Amino acid sequence: MTKTVSLLFGVHAHQPVGNFPEVIDDAHLRCYRPFLQTLHRFPEFRFAVHFSGWLLDYLLQKFPEDMALLREMVARGQVELFGAGDTEPVLAVIPEQDRIGQLTRFSDKLDARLGQRPQGAWLTERVWEATVVPSLVDAGIRYVTVDDYHFLCAGKEAGQLDGYYTTEEGGKPLDLFPISEALRYRIPFALAHEVVDYLEGLAGQSENAAAVYFDDIEKFGIWPETYEWVYEKGWLENFIRGVLASEKIRPRTYKEYHDQVKTRGIIYLPTTSYIEMNEWTLPAAAAAKYADLVAREKDAGRYEEHKPYIRGGIWKNFFSRYPESNWMHKRMLGLSLRVAQLPSDQRTADLIDDLYEAQSNDAYWHGLFGGLYLPHLRRAVYNAIVRLEAGLDNIAPRKAGHRGDLDKDGVDEICTFSKELQAIVKLDGHAGVCEFDDYRLNHNFGDTLRRQAEHYFEKIHNNAQGAEHAGDGIASAHDRVAFKHEIFPSDLLADDRPSGLFIDSWIKENEHRAVRDYELIGYDPASMQFQAVIGDGTITKTITLSGNRIGAQYAASKLTGGSVSVRFMLAMPCCDGYAGRYAGSGANILGGFGAPLEVKAERLILDDGVLGGHLIFGASRTVSIHAAPYFTASQSEAGFEKIMQAVEITVQWPVDDRPVSLWLEVNPGNLQL
């Protein structure tokens, strides 16, 4: 008999909650549609697919004819649907009741909309922690896919990874398929016939041998150069025809294989993700050491042998690396607890929808992919958080003036709110507002990201161009080096001050010193008072919240000859788009958010068409106002790019014995300018 190998071919399709419709439409045009149309013509080619829940909803509504192809392939047994959390959360970082809820909701959706209830699940970003096993099992999942790297880290040899293994947690069993790294890096980048030859070489290496592939569908048309390669030059069709023509390769669904082949035995995996992710989780200095170690091992020819023992960090390190990610996560956890504490009849579908949207993974991390650096993805999470909080307050009201360490960083915060607004002040010595929400607009104006060092800045400094790639295929996004924007040294400077509102500095004799030693001297539900010692004098700062206005009054004592500077980092959804603009007190347009502005005034308006609202900055006396866009530099699969994170407004005035009040007033609706 001819020795064969079972090809378990799976693709994962995902778009982040909050992504731009035009981006999704383009992805559908260049990837989802041609992929489904191509596979539909080959009923004998069996495969698995996972569309994340939010994306699936969008495609079913916007492109029903194309999704009918998927439904037909499911009905004829060609396609196996894989489950996951509905909004694509990293299961390991959300509470257990939300894991089960997310998994069950998505399985119900697949059953109702596409006619199949999944038995397998895609594990978001292949983030593995044993604690997720009971939740998966309780939600009806029998098996998941993770990288072969996970198994190598547990001591398995590469030759042992052509089947599936079984793990358990608390006596609840779950089967695990190891995704082949060799296939991930070949498909679809190597020539189609070379991939077929590679698969045929795996035939008969063991009884019931399987070649396991499950990876992002975006590699089939969205990654740079791939649309022409996969469809116009025919890579996908050539690959399918080559597989179907082979006597040694049997394309099967995971379920078929799982039902017919027994487990290879018990295994327990360490906490990990895929290799690249483990590197991305590390801070810049540690990532540099890791990269140097990997390079030395490769130069010595030892890397493939030693890579299971050369590990980076774990996914949760993103909460340690990025305070903004940690803050979002802990805010989400706090609201999840409030939802869980409600009587079951008060946990409405709207509350659950908002909670699950706040758990979408993309805005919490950053690497070559991941959306922490993308303001519109963080904004989608905060939109859900603010909506959810308002909904919970209507059912079970909170008390304003609460003090506690919300983000578990060892520093307390005080939360105060009105019907319209919420302000959270961090007691870290800066006495700044770290979160500023408008419940009418469902927006957090404090949702900004400060610059910090990244390991890939070295490539920018070296101004590396092009990609080192050998062979006749195309380069993977992991190997490409490109620049979408010109990046300057100033774009790479780490910011040593927190992002937020009312961040103060004292300026005297050209010395600019951040005020970092504010002490809380009193607070009530509507106000907080701080005092800082500067030389022989003091500054007293009183933050108040009332209605649709937040303000701060500054009173100096025994300070002469200097100035106070106050920084506001404001998340304006328009960023440097055409619909964001400054206006003066006479409603005259002064410029756009993407350009610097210098004025002396008592009033400045920030009008944002994407937000659907405007801010009015006011001062009790004429002050110098400097406004400018605040950029960060980051990497993506398309290259290095600059992203506007905030409007940075700095207000300055000379100190005298008169108190000065500054305030922001938030108003829904745009100005008619």
- Domain spans, the chain: 5-273, 457-462+479-668
- In the prediction, which pLDDT does 469 show? 45
pLDDT tier at 474 (50, 70, 90 boundaries)?
very low
pLDDT at 664 over 60: yes
Q: Is 559 helix (H, G, I), strand (E, B) or coil?
A: coil
For the chain, the distance separating the N- and C-terminal CA atoms, rounded to the nearest angstrom, is 80
Mean residue pLDDT of the chain comes to 94
Beta-strand relationship, 79-81 and 47-51 = parallel
Strand residue runs (E) in 594-638: 597-608, 613-636
* pLDDT at position 2: 80
pLDDT bin (cut points 50, 70, 90) of residue 131 is very high
Q: Are strands 613-636 and 433-438 parallel, antiparallel or unpaired?
A: unpaired
Q: What is the pLDDT of residue 509?
A: 83
What per-residue confidence (pLDDT) applies to 235?
Answer: 98
What pLDDT is recorded for position 476? 47
pLDDT at 79 over 80: yes
Question: Is the whole-model pTM more than 0.75?
Answer: yes
Number of residues assigned to the chain: 673
Q: Across residues 388-409, what is the average pLDDT? A: 95
Query: Cα torsion at 275, 281, 282, 284 (round to 10°)?
Result: 110
Mean pLDDT in residue range 272-296:
94
Residue 183, φ and ψ in degrees, nearest 5:
-75, -40
What b/e readout covers 623-638, taking b as 16+ CB neighbours within 10 angstroms? Answer: bebebbbbbbbbbbbe
In the three-class reduction of DSSP (H, G, I as helix; E, B as strand; rest coil), residue 647 is classed as strand
Buried b (16+ CB within 10 A) or exposed e, 393-415: eeeeeeebeeeeebbebeeebbb
Minimum mean pLDDT range among 246-255, 557-566, 621-630: 557-566
pLDDT tens for each residue of 113-124: 999 999 999 999
Query: 457-462+479-668 sits in which CATH class?
Result: mainly beta
How far is Cα 491 from Cα 469, in angstroms, rounded to an integer? 29
Tell whether the torsion through CA atoms of 383, 388, 394 and 398 is positive or negative: negative
| Rounded mean pLDDT, 128-154 | 97
Query: Does residue 480 surpass a pLDDT of 70?
Result: no
Lowest mean pLDDT among 319-323, 384-388, 640-644: 640-644
CB 253 within 8 A of CB 46: yes
User: How many CA atoms lie less than 13 Å away from 544 in the CB half-sphere?
Assistant: 11
CA 563 to chain centre: 39
Q: For every residue of 392-447, which 3-state class applies, written as one string? A: HHHHCCCCCCEEECCCCCCCCEEEEECCCEEEEEECCCCCCEEEEEECCCCEECCC
Question: For the domain 5-273, what is the CATH code?
Answer: 3.20.110.20
34-55 pLDDT, tens digit per residue, is 999 999 999 999 999 999 999 9
Cis ω for the linkage preceding 188 (within 30 of 0): yes
pLDDT over threshold 60, residue 174: yes
What's residue 467's pLDDT? 41
Sort 95 into a burial class: Cβ within 10 Å, 0-12 / 13-18 / 19+.
middle
Q: Which residues are part of the catalytic machinery? A: 125, 216
CA–CA dist 645, 447 (Å, integer): 9
Q: Supply the pLDDT for residue 575.
A: 93
- The answer to whether the CB of 228 falls within 8 A of the CB of 26 is no
Q: The tokens of 365 are what? A: 């991390």
Q: What angle do CA 544, 546, 547 make, to 5 degrees?
A: 155
Angle (CA) 162 163 167, round 5°: 130
Q: What is the pLDDT of residue 485?
A: 64
pLDDT over 90 at 221, yes or no: yes
The answer to whether the CB of 202 falls within 8 A of the CB of 209 is: yes
Report pLDDT for 479: 47
